[in-house]
């Protein structure tokens, strides 16, 4: 399928190549405070998947640092989910709470280093002192406490001598940091609460920012993968490990975008609300996006894993179409599951010319599914068909039974409608039909053509079953809350009729109910006496879609119109000095407006440019290189930190001016200068990068490229001029970039004529 690597695997591969770690170690670190949902499945697939792909291992760790929200039942649900998805964690399940003693020692160490202090401000004061995004915060007076006092206080906090909220332990970082998270983050808080594992042993609990990075380090994690909202926390992650001197193989944090799916909610708060206020039957309600829900609905682990693979991993916040998930389960079940017949809304059919009864052979699988197995289908004079499959006044394109149109009973005979019986209200109650004895499935000699074959059940042997039909939980794509709930998300059919083999033979727990969809014998409520089936997903239904056409086609157009509007913002005015430079650059030096603008607005760039200019007077080329290539290097560094000098850039430009090298090669040489600081002439000499402009050297290469790509030559000559770049690219590639691109262009143009 998609062979390309995601950005995380790219990072991991680079680290492996650089021998940064002995082994790739990842971890899946949920907080056991709720049931895992399909977003967790994505995280599980990433963490365990990467570990598997690179022969490493993945830990399962409960990030249980908040005693007030966590519980053992969630631990079990989390373990279940991982196992059900088919993954094995390394060793035992880990718990951050197991590291509490170690974490405490690290905290003391930070205090001793003068990097942490016990703060006694109130919660409100702490918030106030933190400042805002635009104003710096100020440090608490308690930050001045001595090491001894801090150590003593922390010990007493641990021993339970203080009330909740009286003190906290904070890192001493920077109260005016632009990153709000770095304004002396809290490390420990007092909680007189019972922890589900450590009981009352601790009165202080570490915060996420302190516990997480250290737990990763303790476990020897190499790649700590989390979601995007922790980007701002990465600075603390690094600060804690660096400050404690926990270097060399140590974990680094990488973030990816969490999963969003339309028509559903993923936030723990909202899911909890659904459960607590009984909008659903529980965490495992088949409409829930929880693993437990999906599982009870009938989703397979394979389908969910495949879904996770299909959606990919990136850093863009996005909303995946639920149709993609539905495709995955259909795709999986299509090749696995037996077909059986079920009638949800029965309409009685009496076949007046049929006497007695018989048992028909019927394969469980269609021709295109390479599986074996069949059952006996009882058949008699009275059967039931789906009410939808008969129409007295059929719409155009209706393939099923009508007063004029015969239809095949799947695996059985062709019937035709003789009479429609109605009750006093005009509702159809029964169809009187006749059958064609010679039309028996498999030995049809009737020569009658029908447009479709419908499912049916024999009236006397059919079993009654409860069928639960699920629709999406919410009515809108991006639901906010309970006000967006779909009131018809659950439809229970108490008296559906199923063929007997389904119950007596039980060929599987998942089935395709022919022409309807995939169904799952409910693992909890199902019994042979009172069978219950959950609808997993419907079949793709192009007839139904056509039938109720004309709903809301205007949406895409509206969206397209919205997209066009682009407001152009104001550009800040230049200072006087910048203005003066700009005048000089555009006037005296004849630079282009854009380049002059870029250069004159940047102090570092203009200084670099002017120094280089004094060495080699070639303003335009120099300005181009400086404003494009050098600018990249100067973004996060000062001129002094660069390995190359303005004089070397001047030298590089001189070689371009003298046509020793092309612009393309110049960029390559520049890259080398960035890393090695070597003189351009030396690099060109050492790597033999001198430009090739002699057509007699280039022509054979062009011939070669054309000979190797005859189809593209043809396409180009047929009018696909975009391919021009392809040929130039191939030729340049063949010469290691050394061919003079202008010459190549001219020659390729001639050759392709």
Partner RNA sequence: UGGGGUAUAGGCAAAUGGUAUGCCAACAGUUUUUGGUACUGUAGAUUGAAGGUUCGAGUCCUUCUACCCCAUCCA
Q: Interface with RNA includes 84 (CB under 7 A)?
A: no
By beta-carbon proximity to RNA, the closer residue of 285 and 378 is 378
> Applying CB under 7 A, does 411 fall inside the site for RNA?
yes
Closest CA to 408 of 430, 427, 433, 376: 433
Q: For RNA, which stretch binds (CB under 7 A), given 85-93, 371-379, 590-598, 700-708?
A: 590-598
Residue 35 CA to residue 41 CA, distance in Å, equals 11
Chosen residue from 147, 175, 246, 257 binding RNA by CB under 7 A: 257
Stretch that binds RNA, among 486-494, 528-536, 555-563, 680-688 (CB under 7 A): 555-563
Of 106-114, 422-430, 623-631, 684-692, the window that binds RNA (rule: CB under 7 A) is 623-631
* Cα–Cα nearest to 494, from 466, 468, 469, 463: 466
The least CB distance from residue 423 to RNA, in Å, is 25
Helical H segments across 548-601, by residue range: 554-564, 576-586, 593-601
From 20, 130, 268, 604, the catalytic residue: 268
Question: Whose Cβ is closer to RNA: residue 186's or residue 428's?
Answer: 186
Of positions 556, 675, 696, 753, contacts RNA by CB under 7 A: 556
Whole-Å CA distances, 677 to 628, 669, 698: 18, 10, 32
- Distance of closest approach, residue 57 Cβ to RNA, in angstroms: 21
Residues 42 to 81 in contact with RNA, rule: CB under 7 A? 63, 65-66, 69
Closer to RNA by CB, 310 or 645: give it.
310
Query: What is the rounded CA–CA span in Å between residue 326 and residue 518?
Result: 11
Q: Which x/- pattern, by CB under 7 A, does the window 304-333 give for RNA?
A: ------xxxxxxxxxxxx-xx-xx--xx--
The window from 13-21, 50-58, 567-575, 579-587 that contacts RNA (CB under 7 A) reads 567-575
Burial environment of residue 480 by CB neighbours within 10 A (0 to 12, 13 to 18, 19 or more): exposed
In the list 247, 425, 542, 696, the residue contacting RNA (rule: CB under 7 A) is 542
Q: Of 9, 258, 336, 348, which is the active-site residue?
A: 258
- Taking the alpha carbons of 184, 186, 188, 189 in that order, is the dihedral positive or negative? positive
Residue 141 binds to RNA (criterion: CB under 7 A): no
Contact stretch for RNA (CB under 7 A) within 398-406, 468-476, 520-528, 646-654 = 398-406
| Cβ contact 512:340 at 8 Å | yes
540 binds RNA (CB under 7 A): yes
Among 23, 22, 21, 32, which residue's Cα sits nearest to residue 93?
A: 32
Q: Which stretch binds RNA (CB under 7 A): 179-187, 460-468, 528-536, 606-614?
A: 179-187
Out of 566, 675, 696, 753, the only residue in the binding site for RNA (CB under 7 A) is 566
End-to-end CA distance of the chain: 38
Q: How far apart are CA 147 and CA 109, in angstroms?
A: 10
Nearer to RNA, 173 or 723 (CB): 723
How far is C-alpha 169 from the geometric centre of its chain's CA atoms? 36
Nearer to RNA, 375 or 400 (CB): 400
Q: How many Cα atoms occupy the beta-carbon half-sphere of 564 within 13 Å? A: 5
Residue 39 contacts residue 259 (beta carbons within 8 Å): yes
Other C-beta atoms lying within 10 Å of the C-beta of residue 33: 16
Residue 279 CB, nearest distance to RNA (Å)?
A: 22
Which residue from 115, 174, 179, 690 is in contact with RNA, where contact means CB under 7 A?
179
CB 285 within 8 A of CB 471: no
- 632 counts as binding RNA under rule CB under 7 A: yes
DSSP 175: T
Q: Closer to RNA at the Cβ: 530 or 580?
A: 580
**Three state DSSP letters for 442-484:** CCCCCCCCCCCEECEEECCCCEEEEEEEECCCECCCCCCCHHH
Rounded Cα distance between 251 and 247, Å, is 9
Examine residue 159 and tell whether it contacts RNA (CB under 7 A): no
Choose between 19 and 559: whose C-beta lies nearer to RNA.
Answer: 559
Cα–Cα dist 480/94, whole Å: 35
**CB 192, CB 180: distance < 8 Å:** no
Site map 261..280 versus RNA, x via CB under 7 A: --------------------
- Residues forming a β-bridge with 349: 383, 431
φ and ψ at residue 470, rounded to 5 degrees: -110, 140
Torsion, CA 649, CA 655, CA 659, CA 663, rounded to 10: -30
Stretch of 71-79, 109-117, 675-683, 735-743 contacting RNA, by CB under 7 A: 735-743
Taking the C-alpha atoms of residue 170 and residue 126, their distance in angstroms, rounded to an integer, is 11
**Minimum Å distance from CB 558 to RNA?**
10
Residues 6+ apart with CB under 8 A from 586: 592, 593, 596
Q: Which of 281, 729, 734, 752 binds RNA (CB under 7 A)?
A: 729
> Facing residues of 454 across strands?
409
Q: Does 635 bind RNA (CB under 7 A)?
A: yes
Nearest CB to RNA, comparing residues 23 and 714: 714
Q: Residue 82 — φ and ψ, nearest 5°? A: -65, -45
Angle at 427 between CA 386 and CA 451, to 5 degrees: 35
CB 297 to RNA: min, Å: 18
| CA 491 vs CA 130, 387, 656: distances in Å | 52, 17, 75
Residue 322 vs 509, nearer CB to RNA:
322
Residues 439-498 that bind RNA (CB under 7 A): 439-442, 444, 452-454
Q: Does 113 bind RNA (CB under 7 A)?
A: no
Query: Based on CB atoms, which residue is closest to RNA, 140 or 461?
Result: 140
Other C-beta atoms closer than 10 Å to the C-beta of 341 total 27
Q: Binding to RNA by residue 208, rule CB under 7 A?
A: yes
> Catalytic annotation on 258?
yes
Pattern of binders to RNA over 332-371, x per CB under 7 A? --x----x--------------------------xxxx--
Does 687 engage in binding with RNA (CB under 7 A)? no
**From CA 104, how far away is CA 636, in angstroms rounded?**
37
Interface with RNA: number of residues (CB under 7 A)? 140
In the complex, least distance from residue 121 CB atom to RNA, rounded to whole angstroms: 6
Dihedral sign, Cα of residue 616, residue 617, residue 618, residue 619: positive
Least Cβ distance, residue 92 to RNA (angstroms): 19
619 in Cβ contact with 591 (< 8 Å): yes
Q: Going residue by residue from 690 to 709, which x/- string records binding to RNA, judged by CB under 7 A?
A: -------------------x
User: Applying CB under 7 A, which of residues 429, 504, 663, 676 lies at the interface with RNA?
Assistant: 663
Q: Which is nearer to RNA, 313 or 701 (CB)?
A: 313
In angstroms, rounded to a whole number, what is the distance separating the alpha carbons of residues 2 and 418? 55
Name the minimum Å distance from CB 729 to RNA: 3
Which CB, 209 or 651, lies closer to RNA? Answer: 209
Distance, CA of 678 to CA of 649 (rounded, Å)? 11
| Binding to RNA, residues 20-39 (CB under 7 A) | 31
- Selected from 464, 504, 628, 676, the binder of RNA by CB under 7 A is 628
Active-site hit among 31, 90, 166, 578: 31
Q: Which of residues 217-246 bind RNA (CB under 7 A)?
A: 228-233
207 binds RNA, rule: CB under 7 A: yes
| 268 belongs to the catalytic site | yes
Query: Which of residues 93, 186, 690, 734 is near RNA by CB under 7 A?
Result: 186
DSSP state of 388: G
Measured from the CB atom, the residue of 132 and 425 that comes closer to RNA is 132
116 binds RNA (CB under 7 A): no
The per-residue DSSP string of 698-748 comes to HHHHHHHHHHH-HHHHHHHHTT-GGGHHHHHHHHHHHTTT-B-HHHHHHHH
Q: What residues are annotated to the active site?
A: 31, 258, 268
């Amino acid at each position: 399928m998609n062979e390309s690597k995601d950005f995380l695997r790219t990072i991991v591969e680079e680290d492996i190549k650089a021998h940064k770690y002995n082994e790739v170690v990842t971890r899946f670190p949920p907080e056991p405070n709720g049931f895992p949902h399909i977003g967790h499945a994505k995280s599980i697939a990433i963490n365990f998947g990467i570990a598997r792909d690179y022969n490493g291992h993945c830990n399962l760790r409960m990030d249980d640092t908040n005693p007030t929200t966590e519980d053992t039942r969630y631990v079990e649900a989390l373990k279940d989910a991982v196992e059900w998805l088919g993954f094995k964690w390394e060793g035992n399940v880990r718990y951050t709470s197991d590291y509490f003693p170690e974490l405490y020692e690290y905290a003391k160490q930070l205090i001793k280093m003068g990097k942490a202090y016990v703060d006694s401000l109130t919660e409100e004061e702490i918030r106030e002192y933190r400042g805002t995004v635009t104003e710096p915060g100020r440090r608490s007076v308690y930050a001045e406490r001595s090491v001894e006092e801090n150590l003593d206080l922390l010990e007493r906090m641990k021993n339970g001598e203080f009330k909740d909220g009286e003190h906290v332990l904070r890192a001493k970082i920077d109260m005016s940091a632009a990153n709000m998270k770095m304004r002396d983050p809290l490390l420990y808080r007092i909680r007189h609460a019972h922890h589900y594992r450590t009981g009352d042993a601790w009165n202080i609990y570490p915060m996420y920012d302190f516990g997480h990075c250290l737990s990763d380090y303790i476990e020897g994690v190499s790649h700590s993968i989390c979601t995007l909202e922790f980007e701002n926390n990465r600075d603390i992650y690094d600060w804690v490990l660096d400050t404690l001197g926990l270097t060399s193989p140590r974990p680094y944090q990488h973030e990816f975008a969490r999963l969003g799916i339309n028509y559903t909610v993923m936030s723990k708060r909202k899911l909890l609300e659904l459960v607590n206020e009984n909008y659903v039957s529980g965490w495992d309600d088949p409409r829930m996006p929880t693993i437990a829900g999906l599982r009870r609905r009938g989703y397979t682990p394979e389908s969910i894993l495949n879904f996770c693979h299909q959606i990919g991993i990136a850093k863009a916040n996005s909303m995946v179409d639920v149709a993609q998930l539905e495709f995955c389960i259909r795709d999986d079940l299509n090749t696995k599951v037996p077909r059986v017949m079920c009638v949800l809304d029965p309409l009685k059919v009496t076949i007046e010319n049929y006497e007695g009864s018989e048992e028909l052979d019927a394969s469980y699988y269609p021709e295109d599914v390479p599986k074996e197995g069949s059952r006996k289908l009882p058949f008699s004079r009275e059967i039931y068909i789906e009410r939808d499959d008969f129409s007295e006044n059929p719409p155009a394109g209706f393939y099923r039974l009508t007063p004029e149109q015969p239809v095949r009973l799947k695996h059985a005979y062709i019937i035709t409608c003789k009479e429609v019986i109605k009750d006093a209200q005009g509702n159809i109650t029964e169809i009187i039909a006749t059958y064609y004895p010679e039309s028996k499935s498999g030995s049809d000699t009737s020569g009658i053509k029908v447009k479709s074959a419908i499912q049916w059940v024999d009236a006397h042997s059919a079993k009654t079953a409860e069928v639960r039909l699920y629709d999406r939980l919410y009515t809108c794509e991006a639901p906010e809350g309970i006000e967006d709930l779909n009131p018809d998300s659950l439809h229970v059919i108490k008296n559906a009729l199923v063929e007997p083999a389904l119950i007596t033979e039980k060929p599987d727990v998942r089935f395709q109910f022919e022409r309807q969809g995939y169904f799952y014998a409910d693992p909890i409520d199902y019994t042979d006496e009172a069978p219950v089936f959950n609808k997993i997903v419907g079949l793709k239904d192009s007839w139904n879609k056509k039938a109720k056409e004309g709903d809301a086609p205007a949406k895409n157009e509206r969206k397209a119109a919205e997209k066009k509007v682009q407001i152009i913002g104001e550009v800040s005015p230049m200072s006087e000095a910048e203005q003066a430079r700009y005048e000089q650059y555009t006037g005296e030096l004849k630079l282009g407006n854009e380049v002059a603008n870029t250069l004159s607005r940047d102090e570092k760039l203009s200084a670099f440019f002017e120094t280089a200019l004094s060495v080699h007077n070639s303003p335009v080329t120099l300005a181009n290189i400086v404003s494009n290539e050098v600018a990249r290097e100067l973004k996060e560094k000062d001129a002094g930190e660069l390995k190359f000098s303005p004089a070397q850039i001047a030298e590089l430009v001189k070689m371009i001016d003298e046509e020793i090298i092309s612009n393309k090669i110049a960029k390559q040489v520049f890259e080398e200068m960035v890393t090695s600081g070597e003189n351009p002439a030396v690099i060109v000499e050492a790597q033999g990068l001198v430009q090739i402009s002699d057509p007699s050297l280039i022509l054979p290469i062009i011939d070669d490229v054309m000979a190797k790509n005859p189809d593209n030559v043809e396409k180009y000559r047929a009018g696909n001029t975009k391919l021009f770049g392809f040929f130039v690219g191939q030729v340049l590639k063949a010469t290691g970039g050394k061919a003079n691109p202008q010459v190549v262009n001219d020659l390729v143009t001639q050759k392709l004529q």
